[in-house]
Amino acid sequence: MIKYIGSKRALLRHIMAAIGGIAPEGATVADLFSGTARVGHALKAAGYRVIANDHNAYAAALATCYVQADRERWEARVPAILADLARLPGRAGYFTETFCVRSRFFQPRNGERVDAIREAIAAMGAEPELEAVLLVALMEAADRVDSTAGLQMAYMKRWAPRAYNELELRMPALLARPAAGACQALMGEAEDVAGTIEADVAYLDPPYNQHAYLANYHVWETLIRWDKPETYGVACKRVDVKSRKSAFNARGAIGPALAATIAALRSPSLVVSFNNEGYLARDAIEAMLASRGHVRVIELDHARYVGARIGIYNPAGEKVGRISHVRNKELLYVVTPEPMDLAL
C-alpha cells in the first residue's frame, strides 16, 4: 500500500484486537475515515463485512480496490490487463509536465509511462470497480518510484534512490469475499454518511489537526480524478486544496463535526482512534462518547509523523530549531453499550 502519514500499520494489531473484542467474526464494521484502506483490508481478511468511506477520491479508489473488490471476481482478468498496460510506450502529458518538469516528484521517463497508462485506463470505460483496481495498481507503482519523504507537500532536493527504478505494475492484493457478505466502498463526508450506515461497530480515525490529507496527497487525487486541474506553488498542488476544506482540520470546527458524526452513527459499539497531540483533548472526546455507553481508553506509544522526526529547515535548506520529542500517544476509545472485559 502507498506511503501514508495517517497509516495505522504500526497500530493495526491493537485496532484489530479492540474491534475483535467487541464484535464477532462476520459482524459489519463501518470505517468512516478509511484513508489507505489498510484497516478495512485487515477487517475483510478477518471475516468482517466492511463498509469503508472517505471523502477523497484516491482514498475511495483504494477502498473500492481493497475492501469492495473481491479476488474471485478479478484475479483471472486483471493481470492480463495490467500486462497490456505495462507494454505501452511512455507519452508525455499533463502528469509529466506537472509532476516531473514543473516539479520533481518523479523522473520524467516514469511520468511519461504514468501519462500513457492513465490515458489508456480512462479510454477503457471500465466499470468502476475494475477501474479502481487498475488505478490502485498504477498509484502504487508510482508510489514506489517517487522522490518524497512520504508527503506530497514537497519533493526531495536530490532524487531519492527509488526514483531511478522503473515503474512496475503489480496486481493489488485483493481479498476473497467474506462469508458475511459483500463489502462496500463509499465516498462522502463522514458527517453525512454516518447516519446512512447500519453496522455492529463503527471505527472512526478522523484527522486530528490542520494537516489535510488532500494537500498531503494531492498527486494521487489528481491521478485518480484525472481532471488535470490548475495548480499552484512549488509542489504544484491542485487549486481546490484551497477550497475543499474539512471541518476535521479546523480547531474550531472539529469538535462539533465529530460530535455530530458520533451522534448520527447507527451502531451499538464504536472504536475511535485519536492522537494526544490533536485539537481535541481526551476529556472532550470521552464526554462526546459517554452518551453512547461505557467508554474504555487504551493508550498506545507511537512514533510522530516523519516531518517531526526529520526536523525543521529554512528555505535555504539549513536545519533550524530543535525537535522537542519523537514519540506521542495514540488513544483508542472503545465504546460499548455495557461494560465488557476486553483482553487487549
**Pick from 252, 240, 302, 285: which is nearest to 55 by CA?**
240
How far is Cα 164 from Cα 266, in angstroms, rounded to an integer?
A: 49
**Pick from 29, 17, 19, 47: which is nearest to 267 by CA?**
29
Largest CA distance in the chain: 60
Query: What are the structural domain ranges in the chain?
Result: 71-174+209-245
Chain-centroid distance of CA 332 in Å reads 18
Cα separations (Å) of 278 from 70, 137, 206? Answer: 36, 33, 10
Report pLDDT for 256. Answer: 96
pLDDT in tens, 267-291: 999 999 999 888 999 999 999 999 9
**Pick from 15, 12, 6: which is nearest to 36 by CA?**
6
| pTM (two decimals) | 0.91
pLDDT in tens, 111-129: 999 999 999 999 999 999 9
Contact residues for 11 (Cβ-Cβ < 8 A; gap 6+): 273, 300, 302, 330
pLDDT in tens, 73-105: 999 999 999 999 999 999 999 999 999 999 999
Neighbours of 234 (CB within 10 A): 11
DSSP 176: P
